Amino acid sequence: MKLGKIPEAILKRTVLNQIKHRREEVLVGPAIGEDCSVLAIEEDEAIILSTDPITGTVHDIGRLAVHITANDIASSGAEVIGIMLSVLLPEGTVEAELRDMMQDIEGVCDQLNIEIIGGHTEVTKAVNQPIVTVTGVGKIKRSEVIKTAGALPGQEIVMTKWAGLEGTAIIATAKEQELLTRYSSSFIDKAKVLMDYISVVPESKIAREFGVTSMHDVTEGGIFGALWEIGTASKVGLEVDLKKILLKQETVEICEFYDINPYMLISSGSMLIVTDRANQLVECLQEAGITAAVIGHITDGNDRIIKNGEERRFLEPPKSDELYKVM
């Protein structure tokens, strides 16, 4: 198998088909496009759980790890309470590196009012670069849980921020010397600073007030992958206008430099929101300083179509993220 996400067919056949639902407390379990599990704890409350490792980069790894898991939980509409950390370090790591990583992690936790509630830290020969896995815990009223699978025909799709923003920042940081052969240092700095937009917690809080039925943060596989996952989870079709998908010029330039597709580049920090009140939601997000646009709508059937002027093509299941071609 290639680097990145396991292909959907293999994931269904080899992993999901073997997992059985047996506990009534489990309200949402593993499925295509679902990033969080949901557990009932009281009659009207649920616990939201999500876990993710950071494997595609070593830069800003602690900060990224917390944001990615917090984003997953926020996409379910929940408030993040705490995280558990698993930190695996290669032999030869010095204490100062671990200290800096933990300072980054605690800084994000302070920003989002999250508590580190446990974890495990180890130096091991099993890895050749640091691996940080974060498991997040959130809470929500059971009636307010928002699933990726909630999209309905006739609703519109709102996108926040920009496609490929996380991948752009990772590449700009890791490949700075290569990029300097074509671009100025100020251009590369603009690309790096996109990492400051990695959290989708602010837009999730606003979206909850608009009666949204589906939220999905855009991660590995990029905007195309996230659109596919909404369609698969909700068993619906969709039609999206390529020209309305938001892109930063830094992303366009860097993707051209490495001959990769910005719409298939990891995009944490961007969120897809499905709602009946798309234009109102966009206005409210923009008033809060969050870039957003309506990029398409949900349709009956299973056709997932990307429109580019007169051209129409069918969206395909997500493949290995474009980041791996560069990193």
**pLDDT, mean over the chain:** 91
pLDDT tens digits, residue range 217-262?
999 999 999 999 999 999 999 999 999 999 999 999 999 999 999 9
Closest CA relative to residue 255, chosen from 317, 158, 162, 161? 162
pTM recorded for the entire structure: 0.86
Q: Which residue has the tokens 């009140």?
A: 277
Fill in the DSSP letter of residue 7. P
151-172 average pLDDT score: 97
**Where is average pLDDT lowest: 123-132, 250-259, 288-297?**
123-132
- 16 touches 30 (CB < 8 A): yes
pLDDT band with cut points at 50, 70 and 90 for residue 209:
confident
Share of the chain above pLDDT 90, in %: 66
Whether the domain at 35-144 and the domain at 148-326 fall into the same CATH topology? no
Q: Which residue has the higher pLDDT, 109 or 286?
A: 286
- 123 touches 91 (CB < 8 A): yes
Q: Where are the chain's structural domains?
A: 35-144, 148-326
Give me the half-sphere count of Cα atoms (radius 13 Å) on the Cβ side of residue 327: 22
- The domain made up of 148-326 has a fold known as Phosphoribosyl-aminoimidazole Synthetase; Chain A, domain 2 (3.90.650)
- 141 touches 46 (CB < 8 A): yes
pLDDT at 1: 58
pLDDT at 25: 72
Given a cut of 90, whether residue 178 has pLDDT beyond it is: yes
Q: Which residue has the higher pLDDT, 161 or 52?
A: 161
Report the top-level CATH class of 35-144.
alpha beta
pLDDT tens digits, residue range 139-153?
899 899 999 999 999
Q: How far apart are CA 276 and CA 211, in angstroms?
A: 8
Given a cut of 80, whether residue 296 has pLDDT beyond it is: yes
